Structure 1
Amino acid sequence: MVQQEELDRTFAALSDATRRSILRRLGEGPATIGELAEPFGMTLTGLKKHIQVLETAGLVVSEKVGRSRTCRLGADKLDDALAWITFYQRLWERRLDGLDAYFTLQRGTER
């Protein structure tokens, strides 16, 4: 059940466009809260709330450096989500392959 709760937190964090943009930016390298807030025209408090959601999901790690807080991508938390997506992708591919084979067989018997 713990793994399901972790997936829920991950997908909830990814459900917001601002948080996805934050992750995209952090993919380029670490950034301060101020640097992350700037493109959104958002207050530091508003951005900190998004960072908290991402940290709870393990997607972002932040640390106090001097007077600012620096954020970076969390390690490997998207791997669980990717594994979940891949499982269902393969499941649907097998089902669609089976459906394709069925219709191909049906077309062959109509001739």
Structure 2
Amino acid sequence: MKVSILPDPTAINDESQKSHLQSFAREIEGCFLSAADFENILNEATVHMGLPAASDLAIADLPKRFSDDVLKVELSGPEHHHLSVVDVPGPFHNPTKYRTQEDLDIIRRLLESYVVDRRTIIL
């Protein structure tokens, strides 16, 4: 399993941010990964992306809750099929102190980028 971060397209204008995001890489050999180990990797990646960690309780005061960056988790081997699964946040209608208009704009861009791809199956 390989875990990496793909910077969003706007990061091409910010080389230091792009390099920072691309510097995150985890590789796990073998066929077993505990839930706790996977949770730790996800938490590390979240913090690396500048998003709130699972332990952050004061989310109203955080500068960033969503990101256009992509956390990529790759499983490879002869027993795995070629398939991508993307989990995007659901849209909301009214901004609140926990979900801003900027958050909604990010979510809409993410959703639109996947909806226009003819090969995408939306569940």
Q: Is TM-score (shorter-chain normalized) higher than 0.5?
A: no
Structure number with bigger Rg:
1
TM-score range relative to shorter protein: under 0.3
Scaled by the length of structure 1, what TM-score is found? 0.26
More helix by share: 1
